[in-house]
């Protein structure tokens, strides 16, 4: 990966889902406002050369193929997709994704990171290995100090994808 390429993480946009506004207490007056803000926020931080690991629940379950493609094609960056519990239709529109996984472990620099839509309750070396997830919309109880887990859902990060630098501030030093 090029040194200029930035890596981002995000989850739980629920594009096109009117009920996401009330259900997740989002600060938008309607679904168009929500969708436009999510797209604008994404594109303000993600460039076309960047990589975004999306950890699921991308779009409304009733979305058509045309609607799904509209959202996908409105976003900058190369998207690696970890599918969530609302993404069955999305898996059939896979041309836009670099790869699709149910769970993925990656290495960014020397930092090992487990990516999954739903949070794990336990994983090996949880005081060293980061675990990033979505699904809970910021509602998981706090974990014991030193546990390297983080919800990358949009509600937790001001409706924007999150950078490695932001995660480092939250989760602590990179492992050397």
pLDDT band at 144 (very low <50, low <70, confident <90, very high): low
Query: Long-range contact list for 147-150, CB < 8 A, 24+ apart?
Result: 148/172, 149/119, 149/120
**Could you give the 3-state DSSP secondary structure of residue 72?**
helix
Lowest mean pLDDT among 27-41, 42-56, 144-158: 144-158
pLDDT in tens, 162-175: 999 999 988 875 44
pLDDT in tens, 75-128: 999 999 998 777 676 766 767 788 888 899 999 988 999 999 988 877 777 677
Please report the domains of the chain, with CATH numbers, ordered by start residue. Answer: 7-171 (3.60.21.10)
pTM surpassing 0.85? yes
* Share of residues in the chain with pLDDT > 70 (%): 86
Assign residue 17 a region (left: φ > 0; alpha: ψ between -120 and 50; beta: otherwise): beta
Q: What is the model's pLDDT at position 104?
A: 95
Could you tell me how far CA 96 lies from the centroid of its own chain?
Answer: 16
């Amino acid at each position: 990966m090029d040194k200029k390429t930035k890596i981002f993480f995000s989850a739980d946009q629920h594009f096109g889902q009117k009920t996401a506004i009330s259900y997740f207490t989002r600060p938008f007056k309607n679904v168009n406002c929500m969708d436009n803000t999510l797209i604008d926020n994404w594109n303000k931080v993600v460039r076309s050369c960047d990589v975004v690991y999306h950890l699921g629940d991308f779009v409304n379950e009733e979305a058509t193929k045309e609607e799904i493609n509209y959202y996908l094609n409105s976003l900058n960056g190369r998207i690696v997709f970890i599918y969530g519990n609302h993404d069955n239709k999305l898996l059939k529109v896979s041309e836009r994704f670099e790869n699709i996984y149910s769970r993925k472990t990656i290495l960014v620099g020397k930092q090992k990171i487990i990516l999954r839509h739903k949070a794990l309750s336990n994983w090996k070396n949880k005081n060293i290995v980061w675990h990033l997830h979505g699904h809970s919309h910021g509602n998981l109880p706090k974990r014991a100090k030193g546990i390297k887990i983080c919800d990358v859902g949009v509600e937790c990060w001001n409706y924007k994808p999150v950078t490695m630098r932001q995660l480092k501030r939250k989760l602590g030093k990179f492992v050397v």
